[in-house]
């Protein structure tokens, strides 16, 4: 089916959502919205991308360079940090192209979903990582003596691998299944959508259901600790660490809920309030932007709540700043590294009339 055979009454649209005489050619590549919308998107998403990449890279590098962090309990956190990093590197760029560019690649229905797929894969990955962490903490609380035998490094690595393989297949398989339906132009064809079907309602209910399950798990664990305090008046150091760990993960799950919950209502908000393409892009951004913000928030929570990770991240920052302030170079005259000198040694060398080449 040729794109030009599509009914113009349904599929032609103007560059402006209100009026213009220039209609889109299906072979063109142009902006989907007015220039000011593109500028606002850039101001919102580019700093967020940078913060996500920097924050999660610090977490991953800190883990790689500090053997004290190589604990089984941290494996899920590091894998979650990789998920958040990929959100900044892959998901946001794909999202911006899909939202801001009109082209045969971004607008044909059989191709367009590729720009949403990274967000779906990584969001589902976050959900399953948080669920795995909650189960790990519950085993630690209810079976502390058997925890080390149950949650082994090999089993955790297998679980992480299964999470990544499952979510990747979940996102990729729909593109591998032959689709006999004709491709349709999906950009600017209808505002407001149709009545929700069963799959839409299931997807909308997924995040609230997950949050209820997670909240129940953490309430059960915190009640277990509270009952122990009532019986024994105080907690051991190990139990204090466990309590802090559970509260930290509860905060991470709470942040996840606040950031992801708006997407559950996105369809209904679009249907009720999106009467123009400008209104539609505003509603989409309000609902979807917090999802990406969550990937920036997680490293901040790690740094504020987990002392070992905070110290390791700060050490990496100081190391990086030190490289800029004190670059490793050899003195051309003496062949001695400049990093071996300090002010006192320089003063002594000056008094002893020792010549040093300055850089």
pLDDT at 116: 84
Instruction: Write out pLDDT tens, residues 205-239.
Output: 888 899 899 989 998 988 888 887 777 767 777 77
Mean pLDDT across the stretch 13-31?
47
Instruction: Give the closest residue to 239 by CA, choosing from 251, 227, 250, 253.
Output: 227
pLDDT at 234: 73
Task: Look at 8-12, 213-217, 319-323 and tell me which has the smallest mean pLDDT.
Answer: 8-12
pLDDT at 245: 85
Instruction: Write out pLDDT tens, residues 239-289.
Output: 788 888 888 888 999 999 999 998 888 878 877 776 677 778 888 889 999
User: Is-contact 191 275, C-beta < 8 A?
Assistant: yes
pLDDT at 49: 96
pLDDT at 290: 94
Residue 353 pLDDT > 80: no
Instruction: Write out pLDDT tens, residues 66-109.
Output: 988 898 989 999 999 999 999 999 999 998 888 888 777 777 66
pLDDT at 92: 94
What whole-number distance in Å separates Cα of residue 216 and Cα of residue 210? 10
pLDDT at 329: 47
pTM for the model: 0.77
Secondary structure (H, E, C), the chain: CCHHHCCHHHHCCECCCCCCCCECCCCCCEECCCHHHHHHHHHHHHHHHHHHHHHHHHHHHHHHHCHHHCCHHHHHHHHHHHHHHHHHHHHHHHHHHHHHEECHHHHEHHHHHHHCHHHHHHHHHHHHHHHHHHHHHHHHHHCCCCHHHHCCHHHHHHHHHHHHHHHHHHHHHHHHCCCCCCCCECCCCCCCCCCCCHHHHHHHHHHHHHHHHHHHHHHHHHHHHHHHHHHHCCCCHHHHHHHHHHHHHHHHHHHHHHHHHHHHCHHHHHHHHCCCHHHHHHHHHHHHHHHHHHHHHHHHHHHHHCHHHHHHHHHHHHHHHHHHHCCCCECCCCCCEHHHCCHHHHHHHHHCCCCCCCC
The b/e string for 333-344 (b: 16+ C-beta within 10 A; e otherwise) is eeeeebeeeeee
pLDDT at 63: 93
Instruction: Write out pLDDT tens, residues 161-202.
Output: 999 999 999 888 877 675 666 656 666 655 555 555 566 677
What whole-number distance in Å separates Cα of residue 186 and Cα of residue 110? 9
Give burial (CB, 10 Å; 0-12/13-18/19+) of 184. middle
Q: Which two tokens stand for residue 290?
A: 């917090």
The b/e string for 241-250 (b: 16+ C-beta within 10 A; e otherwise) is ebbebbebbb
What whole-number distance in Å separates Cα of residue 248 and Cα of residue 66? 21
Residue 294 pLDDT > 90: yes
Confidence of residue 320 (pLDDT cuts 50, 70, 90): confident
In DSSP terms, which residues pair with 23 in a beta bridge? 14
pLDDT at 195: 59
What whole-number distance in Å separates Cα of residue 263 and Cα of residue 266? 5
Residue 348 pLDDT > 60: no
pLDDT at 183: 59
Residues in the chain: 359
Residue 339 pLDDT > 70: no
- Which residues neighbour 355 within 8 Å (Cβ) at sequence distance 6 or greater? 333
Q: What share of the chain in percent tops pLDDT 90? A: 31
């Amino acid at each position: 089916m040729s794109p030009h055979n599509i009914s113009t009454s349904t599929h032609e649209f103007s560059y402006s959502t209100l009026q213009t005489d220039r209609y889109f050619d299906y072979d063109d590549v142009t902006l989907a919205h007015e220039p000011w919308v593109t500028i606002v998107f850039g101001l919102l998403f580019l700093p967020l991308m940078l913060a996500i990449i920097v924050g999660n890279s610090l977490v991953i590098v800190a883990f790689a360079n500090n053997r004290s962090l190589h604990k089984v309990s941290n494996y899920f956190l590091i894998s979650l940090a990789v998920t958040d990093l990929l959100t900044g590197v892959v998901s946001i760029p794909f999202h911006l192209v899909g939202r801001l560019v009109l082209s045969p690649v971004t607008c044909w229905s059989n191709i367009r979903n590729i720009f949403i797929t990274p967000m779906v894969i990584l969001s589902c990955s976050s959900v399953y990582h948080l669920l795995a962490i909650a189960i790990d903490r519950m085993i630690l609380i209810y079976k502390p003596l058997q925890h080390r035998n149950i949650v082994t490094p090999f089993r955790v690595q297998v679980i992480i691998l299964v999470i990544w393989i499952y979510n990747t297949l979940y996102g990729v398989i729909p593109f591998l299944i032959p689709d006999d339906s004709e491709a349709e132009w999906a950009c600017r064809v209808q505002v407001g959508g149709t009545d929700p079907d069963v799959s839409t309602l299931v997807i909308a209910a997924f995040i609230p259901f997950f949050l209820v399950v997670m909240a129940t798990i953490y309430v059960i664990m915190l009640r277990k600790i509270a009952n122990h305090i009532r019986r024994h008046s105080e907690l051991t150091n190990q139990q204090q660490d466990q309590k802090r760990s559970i509260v930290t993960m509860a905060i991470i799950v709470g942040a996840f809920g606040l950031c992801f919950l708006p997407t559950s209502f996105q369809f209904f908000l679009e249907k009720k309030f999106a009467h123009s393409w400008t209104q539609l892009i505003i509603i989409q951004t309000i609902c979807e932007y917090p999802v990406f913000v969550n990937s920036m928030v997680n490293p901040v929570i790690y740094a504020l709540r987990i002392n070992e990770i905070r110290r390791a991240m700060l050490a990496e920052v100081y190391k990086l700043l030190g490289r800029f302030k004190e670059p490793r170079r050899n003195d051309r005259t003496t062949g001695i590294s400049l990093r071996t000198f300090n002010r006192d040694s320089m003063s002594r060398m000056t008094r002893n009339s020792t010549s040093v080449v300055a850089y």
